[in-house]
């Protein structure tokens, strides 16, 4: 049917993807420009910004930190969120609406607001507990788990709603106790939802800037924060080179993920 | 699928263990401990690293960690953390007005003069008991010589109608731009009264505001604007980067800026911090900053090559007319200055 | 109503051929069934007629008009989908009215025709319901009404009964047939159910792996299957491999001789004898010498019919007959006992054995 | 089973509700330029924020941008989502990755990309100049338009993915049935696909609207100094002005505005969808 679609449809699809991908493509292009202050057309092409990006250790370190934080936050947040979504969908909870609003809350609060509030809260907690929280990995991970909860609850709930419950009933009928039913039947059936939740949780954590801004510490800066810090002081194409490498790595990661779990069937 | 899931799980388990066992707060630990420097990124941070940190670590075995950010968030962090027993920075690099404000807020420790032997070489006028002056420069007028044939001589010349739409300002320097307006309007560093009218005049002359110094550089490069009040040091850097620029020191007297370093009261590694401040005053490091960034040394024994000195320093006469900010006045009015800048001037 | 002509219709995908050269003419008012196992290309053929799939070669003609290049919405075919594809966000009446709206039929006329169509399928009392409030059979009838109300040139049904239970299926089958005949609709129906095809269709097209195996009336197909596939797919059939030893006598692979007077289609060996189970007459007792005798291996009681599984010295056959009465000795036949068999030697057909050559790869 | 909700709920409570309560308390304090924050119990910050025409303007700008971007996102995202949802599966993986990729690149980098494209010396102006279509550079960067384009691009993937999931659940046969009954492609879209995907449009719009209201990096980097939206204004008060009570009050005004509009919007949409 696609061939019979009208001009508006086609141009909207093209415009939509152009809008999403244009800045990404642009970043890749300018990473090769020779001049320090970006202007078109380029005065020449060079790889020097890649060298520079490599020498600035904060980017490589930031990438590793971001990966680490995103992986741990996803590993903690997705099980918590999945459990909560399951309880919300199946248990008879008093105040279900309120709890589900609470769990979606981190999505509604602006990142800079939540980040500032959390930073001040952490500082108070440090005094009470006499323990470092800001600028520690645990403090950062905890904040990022917060980011993963609403996405997980959202996506797993959608998955639960679309699920045929007869398989669960069959398992119970065959003698499985509720936890077994959950682990052996429900969870595997929810897999697309859970994988989608993990993917989005990872994305939310990996690219987060606002919530992270005040919670990072020296030697433990995430990649987006390292990039903003760099951009604040320099506009040369080093940032573009870092981003290009990041785009390549991320694309490779997604292609690998896609081999195991078809992304098109998950999202 | 099973395999991949298992690998995924074991991978995340490993990460979790790493998190639980609590890797030390900073990855690498040196024998002499560490020192955390709250600093700007970009060239400044890079030069700190090249000119000070490397040698410092080699000599003292103290690891230097940079906490990079702009001065505003750094100030906010210092203020937010001041009630805490342990802060996140050992040394905080800030401009002179910022350190004054932090001192007023009781954030900074008094300098341990005995631990910073090189304090004795600091230019008298720049000495303070709560911060070490690291580098300084002054706000001059940069102009594009191919477009501006009769250069301005004073800040007030920036209001000449023939430069309509050709004057550029950096948004982050709002308080200095306001000071320029005050001086041009006949005010002083302790009286910004005339500034507001001048700012509104500027606005009607289509002055261009750029979000950062770097964005202003782009505007100068593309010849979108021809004139800008800016640090002489920046002008020097930009000239080196190929932007056609000359500078004049205004008749009213240039507003100087001193970039300083101070130690918060709740710094974790104070001993290391004092040593670091001392290292910042070493002549070689000072000359390095001058050569690479165009800032003038703050110590008497750092001899610049004559050519460089001509480009970045002020003459004795010019130095005599410097309009040093009245920090107390600024602090009292900073909120209203920002408000006027945001709402009336820009809005 | 018009005739429908498929002229050398073919659909190739990258590597596979979904439909290989279908030629078919459905006369006005004729009901033609496309019959075959899943994946045989019958649905692809139907969808090419409707215009959802563009053929690689060949033409589709409705009446005198070549519609091969005509987009779906201008073809004026009325299609009933397998899962009905009712618009879940519209009421029954809105669903039925949709096609008329598209044809810009005036409101008053539209309402009249919607009411008529719903009366035709006996759903006029449910006009304001939403589809999800209806039973499967009711939804089916909405889909019928929706397709019929526009007076389509060709009526297309894609496995229309597969989502109904057995009893309802038989009922709806008769209803559709009656409606189709009353309205004189040129109809193409896709089904994998041979019983459905035999009872409803004027003519059948048996397809397998993209090829047409045989086209004919139900009777022609049943009595005169062109090949082993058709014989086995249309109705039940005993298929026994062997050779024609001499005219009138077929030797099975296990050596048993079976009477058969039909002509061999090709060489005398490599043949298959096709014999419908209901043509085999079974009698209890020894019979006369020279009669064919067989041992009963199983008896299946099917209510009206009873089926006997027989072993003839290594050759297996099935026979079926209307269940014998209580006092008939056959009623008490049990596995292990012997029976005498007979059939009209002319009703056993000889077919070439299936060869795998010539199939698409 | 109900206990399963506890860990997540506790976590959100501790790390979001408690800090926000702290912020709420701060918003009632008094600001002084010399002492920064004085313990108090005053509504002065809220009154000032609501009464000040500047912040009224900032809030209005934020609402306007969020509304416009949401509408644009629906208009552009719907066809893209349809295209993605109805694509054959082998090419679909690539298309899905292309949709997800911008999300992983982050707002800062994407803003840098827009800056390179829209700047006076940027790609578009250079192209226009090369084609002799313009003499001087067009001011594209540091305009409200740049922010709207930038934010729309940032939130589009969310809309596309949300809608694609809903469109995929609409049986293709429903569309075919409509076409068979004589509906043109655009009529099929308008009469069948659109009504059936309204719940997805509602969910996507709410999500996107919230993201637009809270946008920080994009307006900061693309809007230029004269353009202000709420989230950067809040951060400004906290960090540049060190006026925490006022910043906190602005934050709550933004939050309440977002939530109220979200609730009204989703109620209106769901009523229409049911009706």
Structure tokens at C116: 């008529």
State the Cα–Cα distance between residues A165 and A162, nearest whole angstrom. 9
State the Cα–Cα distance between residues B276 and A114, nearest whole angstrom. 35
How distant is the Cα of A27 from the closest Cα of chain D, in angstroms? 5
Name the residue in chain D with its Cα closest to that of C89.
Answer: D196
Within 2-61 of A, beta carbons closer than 8 Å to C belong to 4
C85 close to D (CB below 8 A): yes
Identify the pLDDT of residue D266. Answer: 79
Q: Quick: pLDDT tens for D91-118.
A: 888 898 899 999 888 888 899 899 989 9
How distant is the Cα of A1 from the closest Cα of chain C, in angstroms? 7
How distant is the Cα of C258 from the closest Cα of chain A, in angstroms? 52
Q: Which of D173, D184, D196 sits opposite C81 (nearest CB)?
A: D173
Question: Top-level CATH class of C236-352?
Answer: mainly beta
The helix/strand/coil state of D224 is coil
Query: By the 8 A CB rule, do C214 and C225 touch?
Result: yes
Query: By the 8 A CB rule, do C80 and C27 touch?
Result: no
State the Cα–Cα distance between residues C145 and B299, nearest whole angstrom. 96
Q: Which contacts of B117-122 are long-range, i.e. CB under 8 A and separated by 24 or more positions?
A: B117/B278, B118/B278, B118/B281, B118/B282, B118/B299, B119/B281, B121/B281, B121/B299, B121/B300, B121/B301, B122/B281, B122/B298, B122/B299, B122/B300
How distant is the Cα of C137 from the closest Cα of chain D, in angstroms? 18
CA atoms within 13 A on the CB side of A123: 22
Q: Quick: pLDDT tens for B146-179.
A: 999 999 999 999 999 999 999 999 998 999 999 9
Question: Cβ neighbours of residue B301 under 8 Å, at least 6 residues apart?
Answer: B121, B283
Q: Quick: pLDDT tens for A120-175.
A: 999 999 888 888 888 888 999 999 999 999 999 989 998 888 787 778 877 887 77
Tell me whether residues A263 and D262 touch, CB distance under 8 A: no
Find the mean pLDDT for residues D77-97. 88
DSSP code of D13? I
Tell me whether residues C73 and D196 touch, CB distance under 8 A: no
Within 203-242 of C, beta carbons closer than 8 Å to D belong to none
Identify the pLDDT of residue C286. Answer: 72
Closest of D231, C345, B105 to residue A114, by C-alpha: D231
Identify the pLDDT of residue C355. Answer: 60
The number of domains in chain D is 1
Strands B91-95 and B132-143: unpaired
Q: Quick: pLDDT tens for B170-193.
A: 998 999 999 999 999 999 999 999
Give the count of beta carbons closer than 10 Å to the beta carbon of residue C267.
10
How distant is the Cα of A57 from the closest Cα of chain D, in angstroms? 18
State yes or no: cis peptide before A41, omega within 30 of 0.
Answer: yes
Contacting subunits of C (3+ beta carbon pairs below 8 A):
A, D
How distant is the Cα of B317 from the closest Cα of chain D, in angstroms? 35
How distant is the Cα of D197 from the closest Cα of chain B, in angstroms? 33
Q: Tokens 């500034």, residue? A: B195
Question: Within a domain: residue D37?
Answer: no
Q: Quick: pLDDT tens for C290-325.
A: 788 899 999 999 989 999 999 988 899 999 999 988
Closest of C3, C13, C42 to residue C213, by C-alpha: C42
Answer with the residue of higher pLDDT: D34 or D164: D164
pLDDT at B9 over 60: no
Tell me whether residues B19 and A141 touch, CB distance under 8 A: yes
Residue numbers in A near C52 (CB within 8 A): 1
Structure tokens at C346: 């002319």
Please state whether at least 3 CB pairs lie below 8 Å between chains C and B. Answer: no
| H or E element in which residue B310 lies | helix B306-312
Tell me whether residues C81 and D184 touch, CB distance under 8 A: no
Structure tokens at C232: 């086995």
pLDDT at A187 over 70: yes
Q: Which of A37, A219, A232 sits opposite B27 (nearest CB)?
A: A219
Question: Within a domain: residue D2?
Answer: no
Name the residue in chain B with its Cα closest to that of A117.
Answer: B80
Residue numbers in C near D178 (CB within 8 A): 87, 98
Q: Do B180 and B320 reside in the same domain of the chain? A: yes
Residue numbers in A near C72 (CB within 8 A): 1, 4
Name the residue in chain C with its Cα closest to that of A1.
Answer: C52
Q: Give pLDDT < 70 ranges for chain C.
A: 1, 268-269, 355-361
A1 close to C (CB below 8 A): yes
State the Cα–Cα distance between residues D178 and A121, nearest whole angstrom. 57
Tell me whether residues D79 and A13 touch, CB distance under 8 A: yes
* Among the ranges given (A56-70, A249-263, C189-203, D17-31), the one the predictor scored with the smallest mean pLDDT: A249-263
Identify the pLDDT of residue A172. Answer: 80
Tell me whether residues D240 and B224 touch, CB distance under 8 A: no
Interface test with A, best of D10, D98, D109, D151 (most A CBs within 10 A): D109
- Residue B249 is part of which domain span? 137-256+314-345
D88 close to C (CB below 8 A): no
Identify the pLDDT of residue B100. Answer: 94
CA atoms within 13 A on the CB side of D25: 10
Q: Tokens 């760099």, residue? A: A230
Please state whether at least 3 CB pairs lie below 8 Å between chains A and D. Answer: yes
% pLDDT > 70, chain D: 98
Give the count of beta carbons closer than 10 Å to the beta carbon of residue B276.
26
| H or E element in which residue C323 lies | none
pLDDT at B24 over 50: no
State the Cα–Cα distance between residues D177 and A1, nearest whole angstrom. 12
Identify the pLDDT of residue B146. Answer: 94
**Range(s) for CATH 2.40.50.140 in chain C?**
236-352
Identify the pLDDT of residue D46. Answer: 95
DSSP code of C238? E
Identify the pLDDT of residue B201. Answer: 95
Residue numbers in C near D173 (CB within 8 A): 81-83, 85
CB pairs under 8 A between A and D: 307
Which strands form C211-216's sheet, in the order they lie side by side? C77-80, C154-158, C187-191, C31-35, C203-208, C211-216
pLDDT at B6 over 60: no
How distant is the Cα of B132 from the closest Cα of chain D, in angstroms? 23
Name the residue in chain C with its Cα closest to that of D187.
Answer: C102
Q: Which residues pair with C22 in a beta bridge?
A: C9
Strands B168-170 and B208-210: parallel
State the Cα–Cα distance between residues C178 and C157, nearest whole angstrom. 15
Name the residue in chain D with its Cα closest to that of B107.
Answer: D35
Tell me whether residues B19 and A119 touch, CB distance under 8 A: no
Q: Which CATH superfamily is domain C4-223 in?
A: P-loop containing nucleotide triphosphate hydrolases (3.40.50.300)
Tell me whether residues C150 and D174 touch, CB distance under 8 A: no
Query: By the 8 A CB rule, do A50 and A236 touch?
Result: no
Q: Which residues pair with C305 in a beta bridge?
A: C322
Tell me whether residues A120 and D210 touch, CB distance under 8 A: no
How distant is the Cα of D28 from the closest Cα of chain B, in angstroms? 17
The helix/strand/coil state of B119 is helix
Residue numbers in D near C81 (CB within 8 A): 173, 176-177
Residue A44's pLDDT band (cuts 50, 70, 90): confident
Interface test with D, best of C67, C71, C85, C188 (most D CBs within 10 A): C85
Report in angstroms the alpha-carbon separations of C240 from B254, C37, C232, C256, C261. 111, 22, 11, 11, 15
Q: Which of D77, D108, D152 sits opposite A209 (nearest CB)?
A: D108
Q: Tokens 């009838």, residue? A: C141
Within 193-252 of B, beta carbons closer than 8 Å to D belong to 209-211, 218-219, 221-222, 224
Domains of chain A: 28-266 (1.10.3720.10)
Q: What is the mean pLDDT of chain B?
A: 87
Residue numbers in A near B4 (CB within 8 A): 260
How distant is the Cα of A175 from the closest Cα of chain C, in angstroms? 31
D178 close to C (CB below 8 A): yes
Identify the pLDDT of residue B279. Answer: 95
- Residue D173 is part of which domain span? 43-274
ipTM above 0.90, yes or no: no
Q: Which CATH number goes with the domain that contains B238?
A: 3.40.190.10
Q: What is the mean pLDDT of chain D?
A: 90
Dihedral sign from CA coordinates of B6, B8, B10, B16: negative
CB pairs under 8 A between B and D: 55
> Interior CA angle at A152 toward A86 and D229, to 5°?
140
pLDDT at A110 over 50: yes
% pLDDT > 90, chain B: 66
State the Cα–Cα distance between residues C199 and A246, nearest whole angstrom. 65
Report in angstroms the alpha-carbon separations of B301 from B118, B122, B285, B297. 10, 9, 12, 9
State the Cα–Cα distance between residues D63 and D92, nearest whole angstrom. 35
Phi, psi of B223 (to 5 degrees): 60, 30
Burial environment of residue D82 by CB neighbours within 10 A (0 to 12, 13 to 18, 19 or more): buried
Residue numbers in C near D184 (CB within 8 A): 73
Q: Which of C71, C88, C150 sits opposite D181 (nearest CB)?
A: C150
Identify the pLDDT of residue A170. Answer: 78
Identify the pLDDT of residue B197. Answer: 95
How distant is the Cα of D266 from the closest Cα of chain C, in angstroms? 19
Q: Which CATH number goes with the domain that contains D196?
A: 1.10.3720.10
Tell me whether residues D105 and A247 touch, CB distance under 8 A: yes
Query: By the 8 A CB rule, do A195 and A207 touch?
Result: no
State the first-to-last Cα distance of chain D, in angstroms, to the nearest integer.
36
D275 close to C (CB below 8 A): no
What pTM value is reported for the model?
A: 0.83
State the Cα–Cα distance between residues C197 and C190, nearest whole angstrom. 9
Residue-by-residue DSSP string for C69-129: TS-GGGS-EEEE-TT----TTS-HHHHHHHHHHHTT--HHHHHHHHHHHHHHTT-GGGTTS
Q: Tokens 């496995």, residue? A: C159
The number of domains in chain B is 2
State the Cα–Cα distance between residues A213 and B167, nearest whole angstrom. 33
Report in angstroms the alpha-carbon separations of A112 from A141, D11, D107, D217. 17, 19, 14, 10
How distant is the Cα of C192 from the closest Cα of chain D, in angstroms? 19
pLDDT at A224 over 80: yes
């Amino acid at each position: 049917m696609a061939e019979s679609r009208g001009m508006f449809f086609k141009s909207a699809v093209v415009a939509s993807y152009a809008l999403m991908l244009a800045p990404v493509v642009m970043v890749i292009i300018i990473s090769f420009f020779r001049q320090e202050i970006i202007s078109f057309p380029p005065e020449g092409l060079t790889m020097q910004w890649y060298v520079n990006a490599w020498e600035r250790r904060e980017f490589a370190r930031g990438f590793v930190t971001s990966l680490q934080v995103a992986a741990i936050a996803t590993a903690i947040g997705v099980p918590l969120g999945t459990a909560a979504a399951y309880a919300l969908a199946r248990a008879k909870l008093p105040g279900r609406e309120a709890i589900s609003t609470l769990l979606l809350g981190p999505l509604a609060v602006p990142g800079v607001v939540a980040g500032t509030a959390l930073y001040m809260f952490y500082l108070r907690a440090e005094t009470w507990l006499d323990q470092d929280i800001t600028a520690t990995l645990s403090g950062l991970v905890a904040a990022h788990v917060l980011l993963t909860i609403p996405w997980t609850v959202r996506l797993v709930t959608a998955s639960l709603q679309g699920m045929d419950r007869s398989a669960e009933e069959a398992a119970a009928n065959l003698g499985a106790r509720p936890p077994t039913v959950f682990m052996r039947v429900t969870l595997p059936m929810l897999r697309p939802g859970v994988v989608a939740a993990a993917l989005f949780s990872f994305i939310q954590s990996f690219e987060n800037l606002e919530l992270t801004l005040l919670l990072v510490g020296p030697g433990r800066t995430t990649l987006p924060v390292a990039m903003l810090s760099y951009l604040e002081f320099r506009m040369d194409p080093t940032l573009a080179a870092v981003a290009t490498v990041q785009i390549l790595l991320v694309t490779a990661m997604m292609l690998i993920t896609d081999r195991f779990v078809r992304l098109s069937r998950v999202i | 699928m099973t395999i991949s899931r298992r690998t995924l799980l074991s991978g995340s388990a490993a990460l979790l263990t790493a998190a639980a066992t609590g890797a030390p707060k900073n990855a690498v630990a040196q024998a002499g401990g560490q020192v955390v420097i709250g600093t700007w990124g970009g060239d400044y941070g890079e030069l700190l690293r090249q000119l000070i940190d490397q040698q410092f670590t080699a000599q003292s075995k103290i690891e230097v960690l940079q906490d990079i950010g702009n001065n505003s968030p750094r100030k906010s962090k210092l203020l937010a953390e001041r009630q805490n027993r342990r802060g996140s920075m050992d040394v905080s690099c800030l401009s002179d007005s910022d350190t004054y404000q932090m001192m007023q807020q009781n954030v900074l420790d008094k300098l341990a003069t005995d631990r910073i032997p090189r304090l004795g070489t600091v230019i008298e006028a720049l000495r303070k008991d709560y911060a070490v002056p690291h580098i300084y420069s002054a706000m001059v007028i940069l102009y594009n010589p191919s477009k501006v044939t009769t250069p301005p001589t004073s800040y007030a010349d920036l209001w000449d109608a023939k430069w309509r739409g050709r004057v550029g300002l950096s948004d982050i320097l709002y308080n200095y731009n306001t000071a320029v307006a005050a001086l041009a309007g006949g005010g002083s560093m302790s009286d910004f009264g005339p500034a507001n009218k001048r700012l509104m005049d500027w606005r009607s002359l289509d002055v261009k505001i750029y979000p950062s110094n770097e964005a202003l550089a782009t505007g100068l490069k593309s010849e979108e604007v021809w004139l800008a009040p800016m640090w002489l040091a920046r002008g020097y850097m930009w000239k080196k980067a190929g932007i056609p620029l000359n500078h004049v020191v205004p008749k009213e007297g240039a507003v100087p800026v001193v970039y300083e370093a101070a130690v918060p009261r709740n710094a974790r590694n104070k001993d290391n911090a004092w040593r670091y401040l001392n290292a910042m005053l070493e002549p070689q490091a000072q000359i390095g900053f001058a050569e690479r960034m165009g800032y003038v040394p703050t110590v008497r024994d750092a001899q610049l090559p004559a050519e460089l000195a001509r480009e970045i320093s002020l003459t004795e006469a010019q130095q005599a007319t410097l309009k040093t900010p009245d920090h107390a006045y600024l602090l009292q009015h900073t909120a209203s200055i920002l408000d006027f800048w945001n709402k009336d001037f820009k809005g | 109503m018009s005739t429908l002509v498929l002229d050398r219709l073919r659909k190739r995908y990258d590597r596979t051929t979904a439909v290989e050269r279908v030629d078919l003419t459905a006369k006005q008012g004729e009901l033609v069934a496309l019959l075959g196992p899943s994946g045989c290309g019958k649905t692809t053929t139907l969808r090419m007629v409707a215009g959802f799939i563009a053929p690689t070669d060949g033409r589709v003609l409705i009446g005198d008009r070549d519609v091969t290049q005509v987009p779906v919405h201008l073809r004026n075919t009325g299609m009933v989908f397998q899962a009905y594809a009712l618009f879940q966000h519209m009421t029954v009446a809105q669903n039925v009215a949709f096609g008329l709206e598209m044809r810009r039929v005036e409101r008053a006329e539209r309402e009249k025709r919607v009411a008529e169509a719903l009366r035709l399928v006996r759903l006029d009392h449910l006009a304001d319901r939403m589809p999800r409030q209806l039973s499967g059979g009711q939804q089916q009838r909405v889909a019928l009404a929706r397709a019929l109300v526009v007076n389509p040139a060709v009526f297309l049904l894609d496995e229309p009964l597969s989502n109904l239970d057995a009893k309802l299926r038989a009922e709806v089958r008769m209803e559709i047939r009656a409606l189709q005949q009353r309205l004189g609709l040129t109809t193409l129906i896709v089904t994998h159910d041979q019983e459905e095809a035999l009872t409803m269709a004027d003519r059948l097209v048996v397809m397998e792996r993209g090829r047409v195996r045989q086209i004919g009336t139900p009777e022609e197909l049943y009595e005169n299957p062109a090949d082993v596939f058709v014989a086995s797919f249309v109705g039940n059939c005993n298929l026994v491999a062997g050779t024609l030893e001499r005219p009138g006598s077929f030797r099975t692979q296990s050596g048993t001789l079976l009477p058969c007077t039909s002509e061999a289609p090709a060489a005398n060996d490599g043949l298959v004898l096709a014999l419908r189970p209901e043509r085999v007459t079974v009698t209890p007792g020894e019979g006369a010498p020279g009669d064919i005798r067989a041992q009963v291996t199983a008896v299946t009681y099917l209510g009206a019919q009873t089926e006997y599984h027989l072993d003839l010295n290594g050759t297996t056959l099935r026979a079926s007959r209307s269940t014998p009465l209580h006092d008939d000795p056959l009623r008490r036949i049990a596995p292990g006992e012997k029976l005498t068999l007979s059939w009209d030697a002319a009703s056993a057909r000889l077919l070439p054995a299936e060869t795998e050559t010539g199939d698409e790869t | 089973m109900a206990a399963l909700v506890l860990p997540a709920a506790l976590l959100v409570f501790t790390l979001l509700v408690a800090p926000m309560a702290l912020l709420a308390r701060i918003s009632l304090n008094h600001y002084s330029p010399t002492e920064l924050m004085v313990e108090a119990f005053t509504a002065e910050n809220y009154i000032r924020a609501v009464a000040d025409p500047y912040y009224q303007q900032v809030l209005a700008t934020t609402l306007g941008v969020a509304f416009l971007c949401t509408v644009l996102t629906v208009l552009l995202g719907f066809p893209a989502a349809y295209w993605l949802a109805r694509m054959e599966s082998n090419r679909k993986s690539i298309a899905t990755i292309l949709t997800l990729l911008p999300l992983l690149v982050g707002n800062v980098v994407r803003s840098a990309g827009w800056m390179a494209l829209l700047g006076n010396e940027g790609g578009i102006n250079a192209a226009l100049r090369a084609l002799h279509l313009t003499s001087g550079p067009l001011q594209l960067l540091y305009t409200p338009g740049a922010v709207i384009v930038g934010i729309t691009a940032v939130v589009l993937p969310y809309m596309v993915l949300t809608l694609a999931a809903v469109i995929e659940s609409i049986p293709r046969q429903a569309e075919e049935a409509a076409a068979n009954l004589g509906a043109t492609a655009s009529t099929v879209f308008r009469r069948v696909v659109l009504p059936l995907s309204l719940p997805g449009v509602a969910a996507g719009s709410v999500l996107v609207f919230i993201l637009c209201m809270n946008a920080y990096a994009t307006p900061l980097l693309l809007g230029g100094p004269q353009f202000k939206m709420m989230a950067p204004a809040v951060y400004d008060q906290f960090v540049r002005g060190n006026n925490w009570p006022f910043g906190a009050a602005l934050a709550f005004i933004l939050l309440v505005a977002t939530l109220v509009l979200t609730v009204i919007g989703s109620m209106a949409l769901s009523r229409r969808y049911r009706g």
